[in-house]
């Protein structure tokens, strides 16, 4: 097997056709730069990726930058209040224009030769250019920007998947948490030296939770089998309605399969009964969100396309964004949000708020890197999925289907 892998000359089509059902991917999907390039073309640059929350871009001139593989987008609140997205590529000789990750500015100035753009992307100054130089033809190139109830998304395709279904179907569940009026109070980046799929596959399964996440395993019920989870959920179902929470489930698997539309989902699961939220002692770490009036011990999972996943507790929201850097390096970006009128020090403490998903992500980083090292070995061979890795299996099947789509 190892000798075959080492000199594997099969085409990508042959490789996909030979993928053993119910098994992890062939080594080349994690190591071959040519497959990565195809993934970028067919998956990464065709789909929406979460770039932040409207609270981060409240005023004209507020900007944030999203880097994904070779692409970089500047998302800036324009003069008329609309959200603008631009390729972070200077129209002179191509330098990155914006080197800061987030901030506020009234113009974007390229650090190389000083070409200056306004926050609507127009080139407003370029020194010593010929008389016939047309500034109007050299504005920043647009990048697709969208919004789903306060969440800002970017797509590096001029014809991105529709957001209409997600906006419509998620209005009620996201309304319970008043997503539009949250604010980001912490953001951290985790550089993960592994192929992006290993990182997202890890997020898709909780087979590893019992062995790798003792803190998470104390409070979340995801590693239980269906029957036990149902029993552990009684307290949540009994209290949901009294807390103002509707029992809504939107199946993300179906919606992800809808062509031309962003995949999306919303589902709630119970935490163990001692836990009100995802905190060290299970006690609240911030004021209740939106119209929620109490703690029913539940937690919602949301997904937006293939790279962005959220957890909504009754008092805070955690956003996960997984993006590739290159074929062997990735980034995990986490945002923590609370209600917009919450005051730091009085209503929430950032260390207490970020504790669970920071230690969980550090542990995930370690296991993903170990996974990556083994996957690069000549002894690696695709192995069988357990009954707790269904979502991961669906995810990789979706990837294989997308790679074959024209």
The neighbour count for residue 121, using CB atoms within 10 Å, is 20
Nearer to ligand FES, 121 or 297 (CB): 121
Distances (CA, A) of 344 to 103, 127, 286, 288, 352: 20, 45, 9, 15, 11
Name the minimum Å distance from CB 339 to Fe ion.
27
Name the minimum Å distance from CB 253 to Fe ion.
20
Name the minimum Å distance from CB 299 to Fe ion.
15
Name the minimum Å distance from CB 300 to Fe ion.
18
Q: How far is CA 79 from its chain centroid?
A: 28
Sheet with 264-270, side-by-side order of all strands: 182-192, 329-339, 317-326, 308-312, 298-304, 264-270
Nearer to ligand FES, 114 or 214 (CB): 114
Q: Which does 90 bind (CB under 5 to 8 A by kind): ligand FES, Fe ion, none?
A: ligand FES
Nearer to ligand FES, 107 or 113 (CB): 113
Nearer to ligand FES, 93 or 141 (CB): 93
Nearer to ligand FES, 113 or 258 (CB): 113
Q: Which does 384 bind (CB under 5 to 8 A by kind): ligand FES, Fe ion, none?
A: none
Can residue 315 be called a binding residue for Fe ion (CB under 5 A)?
Answer: no
Phi, psi at 13, each rounded to 5°: -60, -45
Q: Which does 92 bind (CB under 5 to 8 A by kind): Fe ion, ligand FES, none?
A: ligand FES
How open is the CA angle 305-308-309, to the nearest 5 degrees? 110
Q: Interacting stretch for Fe ion, rule CB under 5 A, among 61-69, 159-167, 305-313, 364-372?
A: 364-372
Name the minimum Å distance from CB 228 to ligand FES.
59
Q: Which does 364 bind (CB under 5 to 8 A by kind): Fe ion, ligand FES, none?
A: Fe ion
**Positions in the binding site for ligand FES (CB under 6 A):** 90, 92-95, 110, 112-115
Q: Interacting stretch for Fe ion, rule CB under 5 A, among 83-91, 168-176, 250-258, 363-371?
A: 363-371
Distance CA 356, CA 31 (A): 31
Name the minimum Å distance from CB 213 to Fe ion.
5
Nearer to ligand FES, 118 or 333 (CB): 118
Q: Interacting stretch for Fe ion, rule CB under 5 A, among 32-40, 294-302, 327-335, 356-364?
A: 356-364
Nearer to Fe ion, 123 or 363 (CB): 363
Name the minimum Å distance from CB 334 to Fe ion.
13
User: Which of 39, 118, 201, 364 forms a contact with Fe ion (CB under 5 A)?
Assistant: 364
Q: Which does 70 bind (CB under 5 to 8 A by kind): Fe ion, ligand FES, none?
A: none
Distances (CA, A) of 24 to 28, 29, 67, 72, 148: 12, 10, 28, 31, 33
Distances (CA, A) of 304 to 146, 149, 192, 301, 308: 12, 12, 21, 10, 5
Output the residue with the shortest Cβ distance to Fe ion.
364
Nearer to Fe ion, 71 or 364 (CB): 364
Q: Interacting stretch for Fe ion, rule CB under 5 A, among 7-15, 232-240, 244-252, 362-370?
A: 362-370
Crossing angle of helices 390-404 and 33-42, in 10° steps, is: 80
Name the minimum Å distance from CB 332 to Fe ion.
11
Q: Which does 71 bind (CB under 5 to 8 A by kind): Fe ion, ligand FES, none?
A: none
Name the minimum Å distance from CB 328 to ligand FES.
29
Binding site for Fe ion (CB under 5 A): 364
């Amino acid at each position: 097997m190892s000798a075959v892998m080492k000199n594997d000359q099969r085409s990508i089509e042959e490789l996909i056709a030979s993928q053993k059902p119910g098994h992890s991917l062939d080594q080349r999907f994690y190591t071959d730069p040519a497959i990565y390039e195809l993934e970028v073309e067919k998956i990464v640059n065709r789909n929406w990726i979460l770039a932040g929350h409207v609270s981060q871009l409240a005023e004209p001139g507020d900007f944030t930058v999203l880097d994904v593989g070779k692409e970089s987008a500047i998302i800036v609140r324009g003069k008329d209040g609309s959200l603008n997205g631009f390729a972070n590529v200077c129209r002179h000789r191509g330098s990155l224009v914006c080197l800061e990750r987030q901030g506020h500015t009234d113009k974007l100035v390229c650090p190389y030769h000083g070409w200056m753009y306004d926050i609507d992307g127009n080139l407003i100054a370029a020194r010593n250019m010929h008389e016939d130089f047309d500034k109007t033809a050299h504005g920043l190139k647009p990048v697709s920007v969208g919004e789903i109830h306060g969440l800002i998304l970017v797509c590096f395709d001029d014809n991105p998947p529709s957001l209409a279904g997600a906006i419509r179907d998620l209005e009620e569940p996201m309304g319970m948490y008043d997503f539009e009026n949250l604010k980001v109070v912490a953001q951290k980046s985790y550089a993960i030296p592994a192929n992006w799929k290993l990182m997202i596959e890890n997020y898709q399964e909780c087979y590893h939770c019992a062995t790798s996440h003792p803190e998470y395993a104390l409070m979340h019920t995801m590693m239980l089998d269906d029957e036990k989870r149902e029993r552990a959920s009684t307290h949540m179902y009994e209290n949901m309605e009294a807390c103002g929470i509707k029992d809504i489930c939107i199946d993300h698997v179906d919606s992800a399969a809808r062509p031309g539309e962003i995949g999306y989902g919303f589902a709630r699961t119970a935490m163990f009964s001692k836990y009100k939220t995802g905190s060290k002692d299970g006690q609240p770490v911030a004021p209740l969100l939106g119209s929620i009036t109490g703690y029913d011990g539940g937690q919602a999972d949301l997904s937006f396309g293939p790279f962005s996943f959220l957890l909504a507790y009754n008092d805070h929201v955690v956003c996960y964004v997984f993006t590739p850097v290159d074929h062997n390096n990735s980034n995990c970006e986490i945002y923590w949000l609370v209600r917009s009128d919450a005051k730091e020090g009085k209503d929430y403490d950032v260390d207490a708020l970020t504790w669970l998903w920071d230690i969980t992500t550090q542990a995930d980083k370690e296991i993903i890197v170990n996974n990556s090292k083994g996957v690069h070995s000549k002894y690696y061979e695709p192995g069988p999925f357990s009954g707790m890795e269904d979502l991961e299996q669906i995810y990789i099947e979706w990837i294989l289907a997308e790679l074959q789509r024209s």
